[in-house]
Chain A
Amino acid sequence: MRYAMAIDTKKCVGCSDCVVACQTENNVPHGYARDWIIEVIDGTYPQLELEYRSERCNHCDNAPCVRCCPTGASFIADGGIVKVEHDKCIGCGACIAACPYDARFVHPEGYVDKCTFCDHRLEKGQDPACVAVCPTKCLYFGDMDDPNSEVSKVVKKRKFKTLIPEAGTEPQLYFLI
């Protein structure tokens, strides 16, 4: 079992619904975000290209945030989901400094928080909140080990990139391009 997400940048409109859905689903406090949108524009008027990316924790296979955690609060759960156990976390910030994607933040209550792939929803057989809400259906989620899952199929079929592969984190978010 290896959970992964694919994000179709050709369909994403950067509306940020995935961000607000995550906030209401996961009680992310105002002013904080587990996921976010990047807009990249290249070129000169009128020859332009624009890419929207809905980003969140990459649930890296080789997760530096987990390796550097002194207490074991950051760990890799079933399906490769990188999680933080709140009452093991001392808030030392090492994992935050270690994540090249800035995917983690300090929750106002002191512990470090981040995307959980909505594992509480996965347990019930639901998609993560951001995936379920996306009006363009540009987020795909599922088990990469299962060749028949939507995410495996779309990653196989389409060209994709991952973010900062050079960092060696083996990210599990696939951006379809």
Chain B
Amino acid sequence: MVKSRRDFIKISALGATGVAVGSNLIYADGDKHVKTDKQPKGPYKQPSELTRTPTYCEVCFWKCAGWIHKNEKGKVQKITGNDDDPNSNGRFCPRGTGGVGMYYDEDRLKTPLIRVKDKYGKQTFRKASWDEALDYTAKKLRKVIEEHGPECIALFTHGSGGKYFGNLVKALGSHNIAAPSYAQCRGPREVAFIATFGDGLSSPEPTDIRDTQCLVLIGSHIGENMHNGQVQEMSDAIDKRATIITVDPRFSTAASKSKYWLPIKPATDLALLLAWINVIIEEGLYDRDYVEKYTYGFEQLKEHVKNMTPEWAYGITTIKPDVIRKTAREMGHASPSVIIHPGRHVTWYGDDTQRLRAVAILNALLGSWGRRGGFYIPDKAKVPGVPHPEYPKPSRTWRDAMSGKYELADLALANGVCDATIPDPSLNCSIKAWIVNGTNLVTTLPERQKTIEAIQSLDFIAVVDTMPMEITGFADVVFPECTYLERYDSLRVTQHREPTITLRMPAVEPKYDSKPAWWIAKQLANRMGKEEYFPFDTIEEELDWQLKQVGSSLEEMQRIGVKKFKRQYDDLYFKDGEDIEFNTNTGKIELYSTSLEEYGFDPIPKFTPHPEPPEGYYRLIYGRAPMHTFSRTANNPNLTDLMHENTLWMNPIVAKEWGFENGQKVYLQNQDNVVSTFPIKIRVTERIRWDSVYMVHGFGHANRKLTRAYGQGASDSELITKVMMDPIMGGTGMRGNFVTFLTSKPVKEEARS
């Protein structure tokens, strides 16, 4: 069968064939919430003229709880933190504070859109009513189910609404549910920590930074990475004069706060970690009792690292042996109040699980797991889910397309689902329909061409988003979700020192013709005969029911926003000499991993060198700017005010060699001859090594409908065409790409965005 290719539609083409839809149609299906409850419940008067409604932030996945404040005219004025919230302690980060811009952004998606072909065969979007868009989607999904089975539906999601779409997809009979926050983010870390301690880290990470005496940051650029609680606690640690050691090829903000900055040659961190382990063992700096009582495989480890001396590592990492020794001693002296931070976005060079294993081992040697100033034991409230019939068991999943690889992945791989979508004669079925909620896959996944190829092979793709982001241009149906300030979502139930639950409720009516995810999912479920999986008419009823199970109520939560519970465990840390059974094969902390061995991987990490940039090329590294989240804030009026483009950090030596000046614009070309769509301004700065260039991820948007973001800076994503796969869990290592500079764009066929 010949597939009709999906043209990328700039949503600007929309007006041409747009069909105006009377707004009365929106409510036509008699939804209780939207129709009868025009004014959201609450809000409650503050002592000031502002009124506030509780929410939790959706600008990143730290999910801080806060308040949306409205002025006397009922307009959203500002968002602030909730003092009772352990994730934010009443203080939002700049992105959360600037979250108002998500709501006010006039470029938002405004109505449902359906892809149509005009009589010349040109594809455009036409505006549609919700009924039309939902009916159409239900029809298409039913067709996929009939022709290929429900397992051929997949959901990509990154965000709160994912829960409801997840329920829908599971109700239909598929378990292909993936988030980019696993194989493009923290997956290797989870696998490595589970392999070592029998437990992953999850989010927020239970790092006891506020009480630590020594914080070791390997890449994790806290301060630019604005994960709120960590930034706050790092500041507390600075106040308490903790020693900070930062390993980063770039003089990050954190590096500038550190006693030691180790400007490591990129891609060599594992050698440094092994050398540290060597010093700590050789000099007896480890926590003997702890290692003896809780760990497995110390002798093998000792034998393994015997020759991995600082001198050995120096040749690989460019970090001087005495610095390696000194820093190892700092950690040893602080033990167990020391954190070798696991980082979060750790999919770097393909050996990431092993690098994170080395991090875990180092923490284990220093006895920081379960100790004050190390890693505390988090707790989480138990809130029962809504009762529903059992989900049908799918006969296949995306894993079947992996031919037995990546079995240690504990969550779905977004790239794996993508692979499983590209037809392959060896598979009896490939995925045929995608629902994409709150993830801009085109800029989020590396190897853009592959993502697009997968999309092209689909029978149907629906995208739920708030903004006309790149991914919406590939959709058959676009559902405009209202922003988090305009909706209810599922409760936030995250781990922390204290268990809490948090409510998000709408402060204002949805703007334009947008709707909340729960409503969209429920409408689709109704149309597909799965209403029994959504047993409540409105989300308020559902939330109220859930809250009553834990002794609260919707009314109470609307007032307080955050409710704290008592810990189930009576202590944050291991007690002295406590007997502990770890969730590993040996019941111990595995310095030597029996499960990795079982699956045929190195039970103790080994260093293998990675390719280095060829002559005239530089390693492309990327990271975060404190005022933006990936691509999702690139058009936010409040945040573009703070930073509207990214720059290319370049060492003065490199600039001089090329004759570049500060502020000059260049195009980037990578090792596969992919040229950036837009030029980027050079920032000549001493803050980076000369073998690498750095840029902030999330810029260089190519959709003109994003009026503030269009053409601002360059996109790292489009230059990441080479992926270094993690053989253990399928993470996509993204830092093995090299770029060179072009002062003008080569004249050739422009790559489609």
Contact = CB atoms under 8 A, between A and B. Distances in A.
Q: Are any A and B Cβ atoms less than 8 Å apart in their complex?
A: yes
Interface of A: 10-11, 13-17, 19-21, 23-25, 27, 30-31, 33, 41, 43-46, 48-50, 52, 124, 129, 132-138
Contacts of A46: 251, 261, 263
Contact of A135 (B228, B263, B638, B687): B228
A133 B637 contact: no
Given A16-B627, A137-B91, 11 more contacts: A15-B226, A16-B94, A17-B91, A21-B78, A24-B78, A24-B97, A24-B98, A45-B251, A48-B261, A124-B47, A137-B232
A133 B80 contact: yes
Interface string B246-276: 0000010100110001010000000000000
B109 interface: no
B469 interface: no
B699 to A, nearest CB: 16
A43 B235 contact: no
A50 B642 contact: no
B229 to A, nearest CB: 9
A20 B80 contact: no
B92 A17 contact: yes
A95 B638 CA distance: 27
Interface in B71-121: 77-81, 90-94, 97-98, 100
Interface string B300-344: 000000000000000000000000000000000000000000000
Contact of B238 (A11, A15, A31, A132): A11
Q: Contact residue range for chain B?
A: 35 or more
B256 A16 contact: no
B256 A48 contact: yes
Contacts of A17: 91-94, 97, 626
B686 interface: yes
Contact of A15 (B79, B263, B626, B651): B626
A24 B79 contact: yes
Contacts of B253: 13-14, 50, 52
Given A14-B253, A31-B641, A41 B91 contact: no
A33 B238 CA distance: 29
A132 B597 CA distance: 51
16 contacts: A13-B223, A13-B224, A13-B231, A14-B223, A16-B643, A17-B93, A17-B97, A20-B641, A30-B641, A45-B687, A48-B251, A50-B251, A124-B48, A132-B91, A133-B97, A135-B232
Given A13-B231, A31-B641, A138-B235, A21 B251 contact: no
Interface in B625-683: 626-627, 637-639, 641-643, 651
B753 interface: no
A24 B91 CA distance: 14
Contacts of A16: 94, 626-627, 642-643
A116 B689 CA distance: 42
B685 interface: yes
Nearest to B690: A45
Contact of B639 (A20, A33, A49): A20
A41 B77 contact: no
B92 A13 contact: no
Please indicate which of the listed interface residues A16, A27, A41, A124 has the most CB atoms of chain B within 10 Å of its own CB.
A16
B578 interface: no
A50 B687 CA distance: 9
A36 to B, nearest CB: 9
B91 A50 contact: no
A159 B638 CA distance: 34
B688 interface: yes
B239 interface: yes
B100 A24 contact: yes
A135 B225 CA distance: 12
Given A16-B94, A48-B686, A137 B642 contact: no
Contact of A20 (B97, B232, B685): B97
Nearest to A33: B641
Q: Which 9 A-B pairs have the closest CB atoms?
A: A13-B223, A50-B256, A15-B626, A136-B235, A24-B78, A17-B94, A45-B686, A20-B98, A46-B263
A46 B689 CA distance: 8
B518 to A, nearest CB: 28
Contacts of A134: 91
A19 B261 CA distance: 29
